[in-house]
Chain A
Amino acid sequence: EPEVTQTPSHQVTQMGQEVILRCVPISNHLYFYWYRQILGQKVEFLVSFYNNEISEKSEIFDDQFSVERPDGSNFTLKIRSTKLEDSAMYFCASSEDRARNTIYFGEGSWLTVV
């Protein structure tokens, strides 16, 4: 079964450092997403991406965050200057289309900011 893959699985970084989380969505999918889950809290939407631009973003996705599809396969989330409260599991996801298609999640990248 095709799957969304994410790297790294776990990263520890110092406050103020830049972090890039990488994702390879399922190959025929057109919509890509980042969600995050702070430990013990619910999964929260960050951003959706289609046709090389952001479709929607939440209030969490402020100027410290950016997304990019640098080539035909990778989809990245960059956090410019990490804060302690950015510590969370970050899930990449993809879907074939926008309307009513199942969204498939990667296994997540666990980010710890110290």
Chain B
Amino acid sequence: RKEVEQDPGPFNVPEGATVAFNCTYSNSASQSFFWYRQDCRKEPKLLMSVYSSGNEDGRFTAQLNRASQYISLLIRDSKLSDSATYLCVVNSYNAGNMLTFGGGTRLMVKP
């Protein structure tokens, strides 16, 4: 079983749409959770950390369900500039500060 699993997509949505991505992780000892964004052939950039109580940053909302080992990202009012690959990332401190990446979900926002 993959450690961090995501639907690869692509998700093709019109501008202004709301889109949701899901992610599951297998290591129950995982302690920190993140969504990174990666543009084509660029480095991953932190979009937001994910907290147990859920958190919001502008148009982006992240949720964590530890019992189900499930993380989600909701993007409201999609912009063309949101087109990218969204990486679900997990950090298990029993493995040091080593990030485990999902394969990413590709989002394409169309005019």
* Chain A contact residues, CB within 8 Å of chain B: 31, 33, 35, 41-45, 48, 55-56, 58, 89, 91, 95, 98-108, 110
Q: Interface SS of chain A: helix, strand, loop or mixed?
A: strand
Distance of A95 Cα from B32 Cα, bound (Å)? 15
Where the two chains meet, the residues of B that have a C-beta atom closer than 8 Å to any C-beta of A are 31-32, 38, 41-46, 49, 87, 91, 93, 95-104
List of 4 A-B pairs having minimum Cβ-Cβ separation, nearest first: A105-B43, A43-B101, A56-B96, A42-B103
- CB neighbours of A95 from chain B (8 A): 97
CA distance in complex: A58, B96 (Å): 11
Task: Contacts A42-B104, A43-B101 given; indicate if A108 touches B43 (C-beta within 8 A).
Answer: yes
Residue of A nearest to B95 (CB): A56
User: Please, how many angstroms separate the alpha-carbon atoms of A108 and B43 in the complex?
Assistant: 6
